[in-house]
Amino acid sequence: MKSMLMIAALVASVSSVARAEEEDPFADAVEMRHGLMLQMATDLGKVGAMAKGEAPYDQAVAARAAANIAAIASVLSMDQFPAGSEYQASADSYALPAIWTAQDDFLVKIADLNTAAAGFQTAAATDVDALKAGMGALGGACSACHKAYRQPEE
């Protein structure tokens, strides 16, 4: 009897996951971009703490975090932002519809992030003063995209 209940629970669980994916075909794309942004935020937190003097400058940690940021920036594309995966149309999405109506500008902002991240990679591995200087361009690139294309969290 226990095994029958366990099987029934498993089938119900699998069925609810399948229904959720049917209801939101963009769940995987949204989860992927959240994961990329979470990793970027984690690495920005490390170098940000160093820039603010909240953590000692560690060249190895800063270089690794900057390399991660550059790697993430390099894979951002419309692949993570399929049309239809916008705020209130796809669960957990904060992407604004402007991404698709102003796609050329969105792609320019991704290119700007790549440029800033590449420069930051060199700066972060140099010393704390270069890291601080590099944070401005990187933060500006992140902010420019988020202000135009991301719904603020409520």
Going by the DSSP 8-state scheme, the letter that residue 79 receives in this structure is G
**In this structure, what CATH number is given to the domain that contains residue 116?**
1.20.120.10
Least confident among 43-47, 89-93, 141-145: 89-93
Q: Is residue 132 part of a domain?
A: yes
Q: Is residue 59 part of a domain?
A: yes
The 10 Å Cβ neighbour count of residue 57 is 17
Q: Is residue 4 part of a domain?
A: no
Say what angle helices 128-149 and 103-124 make with each other, to 10 degrees.
170
Q: Is residue 56 part of a domain?
A: yes
Q: Is residue 114 part of a domain?
A: yes
pTM value?
0.82
Sorted by sequence, the CB contacts under 8 Å of residue 100 that are 6+ apart come out as 81, 83, 86
Structure confidence by residue, pLDDT tens digits, 44-72: 999 999 999 999 999 999 999 999 999 99
Q: Is residue 140 part of a domain?
A: yes
Average confidence (pLDDT) over 100-127:
97
Instruction: Tell me which residue range forms the domain holding 87.
Output: 27-149
Tally of domains in the chain: 1
Rg of the chain, C-alpha, whole Å? 20
Q: Is residue 17 part of a domain?
A: no
Round to whole Å and give the CA distance between 37 and 152.
14
Q: Is residue 14 part of a domain?
A: no
